[in-house]
Structure 1
Amino acid sequence: MTRKEVRRQLALAWWRQLGYTLVPLLVMSYLFGDGEPLWPMLQMPLFIAALVSLFLSLPLFSAYKRALVATEAALGRAEEPGAWQELARRRGKAFLAAGLPAWIAALAVLVGLNAVALFLLAMSSLVLLYLYRIPRQLG
């Protein structure tokens, strides 16, 4: 697989992950946003849990950055295909942590979490996902 094809595949994976991250929140908001909250006393604990989940991205992001540097160093050498695979593997794990705030927000719709808090959690996941885009300099 050429470098251009790998970059295209990684770009498509990023867009797919963006959908996997934000669509559940949009669907839950559409289906249950106007309903009566099930357990309103869980609003604050779920919001705090979503904020704490942001910290799960820290070690995964540093591992992703190390893989990014290793991939850049391997460009044009025999190790390049393996470096791209390692980068994709590390980024896949980091995607899961980046999606947590939005997924917790999707659950928080059921307990009646306010729209501003839902928006902030969705944006935090979006910002984390943006960090995992493949830079143009790589390739």
Structure 2
Amino acid sequence: MVVPVLISSQLPQLAGRFGEPLALPLFLVGLATLFLNLPRFTAYKHALIATEKDLGSDAEASAWAALRAVRLRALRTAALPAWLAAIGAPLGLEPVAQGLLVSGSLVLLLLYRIPRQLQ
């Protein structure tokens, strides 16, 4: 998630009509996408609980598959703010705003790790 922001910040700035006016709305949309993770985290938490209940049973493989699918969907949603920061870099999004969006995505990634009890 950090690499696209670093690469796109090296691109030339788009000045004029499209650059500066889009930077602030793009940052606000990036902040709003952080809240899209609330239902994803709830689904992930329920999938974790279901997987823990099915450990050692015949349904363990399907529980792990369901957890993997829910987690992958949640990780994609968690990456959205960082990708919006990468899109906003050539549009004039300030480095501080880029750092905030990337940091938010990285913190969300920490939420979606598999706990030690299930490893």
Normalization by structure 1: what TM-score?
0.80
Q: CA deviation at 1:138?
A: 1.2
Task: Report the count of equivalent residues.
Answer: 116
Q: Is residue 96 of structure 1 aligned with residue 76 of structure 2?
A: yes
Alpha-carbon RMSD across the aligned residues, in angstroms, is 1.0
Offset at residue 79 of structure 1 (A): 0.7
Task: Give the unaligned 5+ runs of structure 1.
Answer: 1-20
Q: Output the amino acid matched with 1:129.
A: L
SS of equivalent residue, structure 2 residue 108: helix
Which among 1, 9, 30 is matched to residue 50 of structure 1? 30
C-alpha distance in 2, partners of 1:26/1:98?
18
Structure 1 position 22, deviation (Å): 2.2
- Residue 116 (structure 2) aligns with: 136
Separation of aligned partners in 2, 1:54 and 1:97? 8
Higher helix share: 1
Return the alpha-carbon distance in structure 1 between the equivalents of residues 38 and 58 of structure 2: 30
CA deviation string 1:40-71 (max 9, x = no partner)? 11111000000000111111110010000000
Partner of 2:85: 105
Unaligned runs of 5+ in 2: none
Match of 1:115 in 2: 95
Q: Which runs of 4+ in 1 moved over 4 A?
A: none
Q: Secondary structure of 1:110's match? A: coil
Shift of 1:23: 1.8
